[in-house]
């Protein structure tokens, strides 16, 4: 299928004295000559402006359980319509979606879909939310915002799955339109961000503090543990102490398993024991809801009441096995409130994954 790129206007850029135009969306600050693209590949200098070349294009749609994003405290058990575009503003050597994030081929974007068509599809498929995922929505924020607005008109919520590597102005604009986020905190050292992701840690921490203190967006954190690179007890200890001190005890954390991929194939998969150890460290440091991910671990994936310790949401993989919360998210045993967005009963989507084609 032949797909031509779009030329959607953007507003976050600055003309420089040397004739280049700097993109101000993320800390990468790409300064572009005529016709050049930024590192993300999808934002491009076009005359006296920077345009988004992937507006209205998607690399595919899929209905997933919301727990797969992962979000354990946001409408548990419901389905989410997931989609992504192409490109990324980080260059993680371990990328698990590199065919999308590193795409230099616009024909990777097989589906064409207007914001209204996506919102209609989410409604028709019974999805409670839509997720911008597979690659980082920061780089296609104009498209993501228009999709989120179309969804909000239909009562469908929007979820950003992101690395949080974004500048202050676009960050505020972007999150005004989001209801929930999962932020990937890739490590807790600047060295890792520089060497493995070609990025930096500080902007990500700023995004987390911004979400906590200046928005009502529900968010959870994912930390992918890679053997020998970011999985030391000391690093997990420092990270989880920072989370509790700066974000409080109620932001859920997901410690997930690495699988060798893209340019990082010389490391083994993460042993389950490493994930369980990280979870124990988090809980010891005051994180109320710490989870393991990408392994079979019903105990590590269930939600316990912070008040009485009872399992309030039992899980086995992406299936919900028990439910002891009321519509306000209170434990039905002791009444303690569990942070998150809950309803009287969980959704019944289960672990299914349903690929969907739009706009052919």
Nearest residue to 308 (alpha-carbon basis) of 283, 286, 331: 331
Q: Which is nearer to ligand SF4, 141 or 243 (CB)?
A: 141
Q: Which is nearer to ligand SF4, 89 or 270 (CB)?
A: 89
Least CB distance to ligand SF4 at residue 143 (A): 13
Nearest residue (beta carbon) to ligand SF4: 38
Q: Which is nearer to ligand SF4, 207 or 285 (CB)?
A: 207
Report d(CA 323, CA 58) in Å as an integer: 35
Q: Which is nearer to ligand SF4, 85 or 89 (CB)?
A: 89
Report d(CA 183, CA 9) in Å as an integer: 27
Report d(CA 315, CA 58) in Å as an integer: 31
Report d(CA 125, CA 247) in Å as an integer: 35
Report d(CA 217, CA 181) in Å as an integer: 7
Residues that bind ligand SF4 (CB under 6 A): 23, 25-26, 28-30, 38-40, 43, 89, 139
Q: Which is nearer to ligand SF4, 4 or 14 (CB)?
A: 14
Least CB distance to ligand SF4 at residue 89 (A): 4
Q: In 185-236, at which residue ranges do the beta strands (DSSP E only) sit?
A: 218-225
Q: Which is nearer to ligand SF4, 75 or 160 (CB)?
A: 160
Please give the full DSSP string across 86-145, using - where no structure is assigned.
S--SS--TT-TTHHHHT---GGG--EE--HHHHHHHHHHTT-SEEEE-SS-GGGGHHHHH
Least CB distance to ligand SF4 at residue 221 (A): 22
- Between strands 79-84 and 60-65, the pairing is antiparallel
Q: Which is nearer to ligand SF4, 57 or 304 (CB)?
A: 57
Least CB distance to ligand SF4 at residue 7 (A): 15
Least CB distance to ligand SF4 at residue 139 (A): 5
How many Å is the maximal CA-CA distance in the chain?
A: 66
Least CB distance to ligand SF4 at residue 11 (A): 12
Asked if residue 84 lies in contact with residue 72, where contact means CB atoms within 8 angstroms, the answer is no
Least CB distance to ligand SF4 at residue 147 (A): 18
Asked if residue 301 lies in contact with residue 294, where contact means CB atoms within 8 angstroms, the answer is no
Please give the full DSSP string across 3-21, using - where no structure is assigned.
-PPP-EE---EEE-TTS-E
Q: Which is nearer to ligand SF4, 28 or 73 (CB)?
A: 28
Cα–Cα distances (Å) from 157 to 51, 203, 207, 227, in that order, read 27, 26, 20, 36
Report d(CA 72, CA 87) in Å as an integer: 27
* 47 burial via Cβ count (<10 Å: 0-12, 13-18, 19+): exposed
Least CB distance to ligand SF4 at residue 95 (A): 15
Least CB distance to ligand SF4 at residue 254 (A): 26
Q: Which is nearer to ligand SF4, 184 or 235 (CB)?
A: 184
């Amino acid at each position: 299928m032949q797909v031509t790129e779009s030329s959607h206007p953007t507003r976050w850029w600055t003309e420089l004295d040397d004739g280049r135009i700097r993109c101000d969306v993320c800390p990468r600050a790409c300064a572009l000559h005529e016709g050049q693209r930024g590192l993300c590949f999808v934002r491009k200098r076009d005359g006296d402006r920077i345009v988004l070349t992937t507006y209205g294009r998607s690399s595919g749609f899929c209905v997933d359980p919301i727990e797969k994003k992962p979000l354990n405290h946001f409408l548990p058990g419901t389905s989410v319509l997931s989609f992504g575009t192409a490109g990324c503003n980080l260059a993680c050597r371990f990328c698990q979606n590199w065919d999308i994030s590193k795409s230099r081929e616009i024909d990777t974007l097989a589906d064409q879909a207007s914001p209204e068509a996506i919102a209609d599809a989410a409604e028709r498929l019974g999805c409670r939310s839509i997720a911008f995922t597979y690659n980082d929505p920061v780089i296609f924020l104009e498209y993501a915002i228009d999709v989120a607005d179309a969804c909000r008109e239909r009562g469908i919520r929007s979820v950003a799955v992101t690395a949080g590597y974004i500048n202050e102005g676009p960050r505020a604009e972007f999150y005004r339109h989001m209801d929930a986020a999962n932020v990937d905190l890739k490590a807790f050292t600047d060295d890792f961000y520089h060497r493995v992701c070609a990025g930096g840690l500080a902007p990500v921490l700023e995004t987390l503090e911004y979400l906590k203190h200046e928005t009502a967006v529900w968010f959870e954190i994912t930390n992918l543990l890679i053997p020998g690179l970011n999985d030391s007890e000391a690093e997990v200890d420092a990270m989880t102490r920072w989370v509790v001190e700066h974000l409080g005890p109620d932001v859920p954390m997901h410690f997930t398993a690495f699988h060798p991929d893209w340019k990082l194939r010389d490391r083994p998969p993460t042993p389950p024991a490493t994930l369980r150890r990280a979870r124990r460290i988090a809980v010891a440091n005051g994180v109320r809801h710490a989870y393991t991910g990408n392994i079979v671990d019903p105990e590590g994936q269930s939600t316990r009441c912070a008040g009485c310790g009872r399992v309030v949401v039992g899980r086995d993989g992406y299936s919900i096995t028990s439910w002891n919360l009321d519509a306000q998210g209170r434990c039905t045993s002791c009444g303690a409130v569990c942070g998150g967005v809950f309803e009287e009963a969980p959704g019944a989507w289960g672990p299914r994954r349903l690929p969907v084609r739009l706009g052919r």
